[in-house]
Chains A and B, each alone.
Chain A
Amino acid sequence: MSSKRKKFSLLLASLMALTLLVSACGGKNASNNAAGDGKGEKPVELIWYTIGTPQKDTDKVMEEVNKYTKEKINATVKMKQIDFGDYNQKMQVMAASGEPMDILFTSSWAFDYVQNARKGAFMELDDLLKTHGQGIVEALDPAFLEGSKVDGHNYAIPANKELPAQEVWRFNKELADKYNLDISSVRSMESLEPLLKTIKENEPGITPYAMVKDFVPLMPFDYIIEKLPMAVRIDTTDYKVINMLETQEAKDALKTVHEYYKAGYISPEVATTSSVDDLYKSGKWFMDRASTQPFAENLWSASYGYPVVSTPAGDPYIYNWSVMGSMQAISANSKYPEKAMEFLNLLNTDPVLRNMIDSGIEGVHYEKVGDNVMKNLDESKNYDMPTFSLGNLMITYLNEGDPENKWDEFKKFNESGINAPLLGFNFDSSKVTTELAAVQNVKEEYWSALMTGTVNPDEYLPKAIEKFKAAGIDKIIEEAQKQIDEWRASTGK
């Protein structure tokens, strides 16, 4: 080997070593140095993780947002979006590894609020709300802050939106009209039978009931943990925790679904179907069930491109999970908690900031066609944000065609809500993690198949109950009962 070549390969080898070092250590510190010293002169940069499909124009919009916030509270924000499907897992890893962040989205259904508050992922906000967040306290329906307390403390700011959850049956109006079906007489699952039958017999290409694997029949229970069978009855007075699979109601409901499955009203593939978007797009479905909010029919019709009508399937109940449907928390490792709270305060009270973050830059992504009415421009496809996840809904501009009284109707809807028995109670699962992991596995095995009617409940329900027992569900029920009794004693319920 000539000495020149030798030198060259030496260089090459050291280069390789260097790249490796850099790539191994890089990325960790990148976001650290951007933040200022926090003394007030230099604007502070807040790192904000939120849920939603990352948008093309996010940085562009944030530039405008930062101009505004720098002026108002001397802080800038760096928004990082993580897609719906990834949010839970990515945030769990990032929170566990201590990734620098200030504000983050949390909820009952993605990056679980209660569990992560207990694990110490969020900063306790009681004092900060008093000192830097008075606007939030005034703007929000008090039920939100009250209902989202964990062990008596607030760890996140809920979005001001619809408070109760109400289930409705949705119908493809064209089909309902074609066969002159009276949807107003429908309420229970059983009462759907004649309608489904008509569609099944006359429309071979249509899926009568568009169902996905997450489907659970409406049953009169308030669950300790969503989608696990520990529950109390919705009209309970003694707060006795039961395994709802053992009740007559569950047996009857599952039987009905199974009959519908056998009759072909539901897709034979339902237990493995996670989305029926294709049916919605093509309009080849007749009915399904969904959570509603005021004027939801307009939203659905607009997004599908054909009329959708609905009728209630249950009463509006305020559950823990509906109160905690969308929240923004301050990370426990935030260096600037006061600034973060100031920002959240502004976000929930200032229509200019709220709408800028929601709809983008005026004149680019949207234009105003009235005092508080806006119209999306073509560019809005590059900045399409999930409105519900970004704070106070009731200061966002109305869309063209929205009724004038939209937010009043929301308030009325919120007032109509009935408190579910366990509202305000949050189960602490840390004593039963082993059992919970095992129960979770049993649930995965039987839940979808039973709830969607894919299997015969006469045969599989006893099997499931037995396996849940073997996995230790009774210990979880016992622990839940103990905590509920303590909670009742301390709150006087």
Chain B
Amino acid sequence: MKMVGEFFRNIFKNRMMLLMVLPGALWFLFFSYLPMLGTVIAFKEYRFDRDGFWASIVNSKWVGWQNFKFLFSTNDAFIITRNTLLYNIVFIFLGLVFSVLLAVILSEITNKRLSKIYQTGMFLPYFLSWVIVGYFTFSFLSSDRGLLNGLFNSLGIPPVQWYSESKYWPLILVLVYLWKAVGYNSVVYLASIMGIDRSLYEAAMIDGASKIQQIRAITLPLLKPIITIMTLLAIGKIFYADFGLFYQVPRNSGTLYGVTNVIDTYVYRGLKTTGEIGMSAAAGLYQSVVGFTLVMASNYIVRKYDKDNALF
């Protein structure tokens, strides 16, 4: 009884804090935890029931692991897993390097006005939808009216059929991704650089440290926690590919699939006509489970070496 009383007294004491948490908690409850019950669909052959959604779930037949089979039934499974993982590893690594680099450079610009202009310019692509970005790249790569082939033409280089030559696409995709994402991510790092105590730099300057030395000895070490957190979060999504990037930018060109097919596009292409919800749910569950495992594993490693920077 005393425990219960204590519990409620605690709630009352912290009511302000708890109320502030409430909206977020409810959000997660409704949009993340509640839908988790739907995971059972991954193990069912989903059929509609006239009494609505819940009846449909309950009355659908159990099929065990049947829905997961299509993910692994062909040698495409290897290609899509490889593409998803490799692209995401490159994105995480290069994204980190360029974002931090950009944030450091931006923070060193003394003209505040110019710095804001650069920042906005680099920030902007993040807000464009992939469809629009897809058309941007198309205006460069179109085989008869594209900028690049026009340039090649005037230089006497034979034109390239960009949308059917898969060897260029890993590079193109990485470039397009960086162009779109780096500006946004750098803001996070820029904000934490702004939060670093200025007196540290002043002290370093008095001691005669150069700019490079200041960055290496002060900025980067103090950025380490946020870098770790951002990277851990990104690793959690390593099995989720950016659908728009891999579908819209290569204009869904079949000859490029070897290097553009990722788990998300594979699932989409396989199920858009059949509409088998069970199989889509299975793919989603598979991605979540792998993502969860990877976050736990990398967090474990981080905690082992550097306890303060781990997520939990």
Q: Which residues of A contact B (CB under 8 A)?
A: 6, 9-10, 13-14, 16-17, 20-21, 24, 88-89, 92, 95-98, 112, 115-116, 119-121, 123, 267-269, 271-272, 332-333, 429-430, 433-438, 440-441, 444-449, 454-455, 470-472
Q: Using known A-B contacts A332-B48, A441-B76, determine if residue A14 contacts B277 with beta carbons closer than 8 Å.
A: no
B16 CB–A CB distance under 8 Å: yes
Distance between Cα atoms of A447 and B164 in the complex (Å): 13
Q: Is B109 an interface residue (CB 8 A)?
A: no
Cβ contact within 8 Å between A438 and B49: no
Q: Mark B6-18, 1 if CB is under 8 A from A, else 0.
A: 0000000000100
B19 contacts A445, C-beta separation under 8 Å? no
- In the complex, what's the smallest C-beta–C-beta distance from A364 to chain B, in angstroms? 36
Q: Which of A9, A272, A436, A471 contacts B274 (CB 8 A)?
A: A436
Interface string of B264-294 (1 = CB under 8 A from A): 0010011111111101000000000000000
A-B contact sample (9 more), CB < 8 A, given A332-B48, A332-B50, A470-B75: A16-B23, A20-B26, A98-B54, A121-B48, A333-B50, A435-B70, A436-B274, A441-B74, A446-B254
Q: Does B82 contact A (CB under 8 A)?
A: no
Whether A272 contacts B253 by the Cβ 8 Å rule is yes
- Is residue B81 within 8 Å, beta carbon to beta carbon, of the partner chain? no
Residues 83-132 of B contacting A (Cβ, < 8 Å): none
Tell me whether B53 and A438 are in contact (CB under 8 A): no
Q: Check if B26 sits within 8 Å of A115, measured CB to CB.
A: no
Q: A96-B56, A434-B66, A454-B164 are in contact. Are A271 and B23 (CB under 8 A)?
A: no
Docked Cα-Cα span, A123 to B31, in Å, equals: 32
User: Can you pick out 25 interface pairs between chain A and chain B where the beta carbons lie within 8 Å of each other?
Assistant: A10-B16, A13-B16, A14-B19, A17-B23, A17-B26, A95-B48, A96-B46, A96-B48, A98-B49, A267-B144, A269-B142, A269-B143, A272-B253, A433-B276, A433-B279, A435-B73, A436-B274, A437-B270, A438-B270, A441-B76, A441-B261, A444-B254, A444-B257, A445-B257, A454-B255
B166-208 contacts to A (CB < 8 Å): none
Are A434 and B69 CB-contacts (below 8 A) given A271-B253, A271-B254? Answer: yes
Contact of B254 with A92 in the complex, beta carbons under 8 Å? no
Find the A residue at minimum CB distance from B266. Answer: A441
Q: Given that A10-B19, A268-B143 are known contacts, is A441 also in contact with B161, CB under 8 Å in the complex? A: no
Residue on A with the closest CB to B55? A98
A-contacting residues of B (Cβ < 8 Å)? 16, 19-20, 22-23, 26-27, 30-31, 45-56, 66, 69-70, 73-76, 142-144, 161, 163-164, 251-255, 257, 261, 266, 269-277, 279
Q: Is the interface of A mostly helix, strand, loop or mixed?
A: helix
> Taking CB as reference atom, which chain B residue is nearest A430?
B45
A85 to chain B, nearest CB (A): 12
Measured in the bound complex, the distance between the Cα atoms of B69 and A436 in whole Å is 12
Give Cα distance in the complex from A472 to B74, angstroms.
9
In the complex the two chains form, is B270's CB within 8 Å of A271's CB? no
What B residues does A445 contact at CB under 8 A?
254-255, 257, 261
Q: Determine if A434 and B70 form an interchain contact, defined as CB atoms under 8 angstroms apart.
A: yes
For A21, the chain B residues whose CB sits under 8 A away are 26
Interface centre among A437, A440, A447 (most CB of B within 10 A): A437
B269–A433 touching, CB < 8 Å:
no
The answer for the CA separation of A251 and B99 in the assembled complex, in Å, is: 51
Once bound together, how far apart are the Cα atoms of A447 and B254, in whole Å?
A: 8
Which of chain A's residues have a CB closer than 8 A to the CB of B143? Answer: 268-269
Most buried by B among A112, A123, A272: A272
Q: Which residues of B contact A470 (CB under 8 A)?
A: 74-75
Establish whether residues B19 and A429, one from each chain, have CB atoms under 8 Å apart when the complex forms: no
Most chain B C-beta atoms within 10 Å of own C-beta, residue among A116, A267, A434, A448: A434
Give Cα A470–Cα B73 distance, bound, in whole angstroms.
9
The answer to whether B161 touches A24, judged by C-beta atoms less than 8 angstroms apart, is: no
CB distance from A273 to the nearest CB of B (A): 9
B280 nearest CB across to chain A (Å): 10
State A20–B252 Cα separation when bound (angstroms): 38
**Which residue of chain A has its CB nearest to the CB of B164?**
A454
Residues of A near B70 (CB, < 8 A) are 433-435, 437-438
A109 to B31, CA, bound (A): 32
Contacts of A98 in B (CB 8 A): 48-49, 51-56
Instruction: Please determine whether B23 and A440 come into contact, CB atoms closer than 8 angstroms.
Output: no
- CB-based contact B271/A271 at 8 Å: no
B164/A455 in contact, CB under 8 A: yes
Contacts of A24 in B (CB 8 A): 26, 30-31
- Give complex CA distance A121, B254 in Å: 32
Chain A to chain B: the 7 pairs with minimum beta-carbon distance, closest first: A437-B270, A98-B52, A272-B251, A98-B53, A13-B19, A437-B70, A120-B48
Residues of chain B within 8 A (CB-CB) of A436 are 270, 274
Question: Are A437's CB and B22's CB within 8 A?
Answer: no
Cβ contacts under 8 Å, A268 to chain B: 143-144, 161
Bound complex: CA of A332 vs CA of B53, how far in Å? Answer: 12
Q: State the Cβ distance, A285 to closest chain B Cβ, in Å.
A: 15
Contact A9 B16 (CB under 8 A): yes
Evaluate contact between B252 and A272: CB separation under 8 angstroms.
yes
Q: Which residues of B contact A17 (CB under 8 A)?
A: 19, 22-23, 26
A382 to B208, CA, bound (A): 73
**B74 near A471: Cβ-Cβ < 8 Å:** yes
CA distance A437 to B66 in the complex (A): 13
The minimal Cβ–Cβ distance linking B20 to chain A, given in whole angstroms, is 6
* Minimum CB distance partner of A464 in chain B: B254
What separation, in Å, do the CA atoms of A333 and B48 have in the docked complex?
Answer: 9
CA separation between A9 and B26, bound complex, in Å?
A: 18
Among B20, B144, B279, point to the contact of A13 (Cβ < 8 A).
Answer: B20
Q: In the complex, how many angstroms separate the beta carbon of B62 from the nearest chain A beta carbon?
A: 15
How far is B257's CA from A460's CA once the two chains are assembled, in angstroms? 14
Q: Are B269 and A440 in contact (CB under 8 A)?
A: yes
B19, A437: Cβ atoms under 8 Å? no
Chain B residues with CB under 8 A of A119: 46-48
Q: Which residues of chain A have C-beta atoms less than 8 A from B254's C-beta?
A: 271, 444-449
Q: Given the complex of chains A and B, what is the CA–CA distance between A92 and B26 in angstroms?
A: 28
Chain B contacts of A112 at CB under 8 A? 273, 275
A272-B135 Cα distance, complex, nearest whole Å = 12
Question: Smallest Cβ distance from B45 to chain A, in angstroms?
Answer: 7
CA A24 – CA B45 in complex, angstroms? 28
Q: Is the CB of A437 within 8 A of B271?
A: yes
Measured between alpha carbons, how far is A438 from B253 in the docked complex, in Å?
A: 17
CB distance from B260 to the nearest CB of A (A): 10
Neighbouring B residues of A13 by C-beta, 8 Å: 16, 19-20, 22-23
Q: CB-CB < 8 A to B273: which residues of A?
A: 112, 440
Residues of B within 8 A of A446 (CB): 254
> Given B31, B45, B275, which contacts A92 in the complex, CB threshold below 8 Å?
B275
Most A CB contacts (10 A, CB to CB) among B27, B69, B253 go to B253
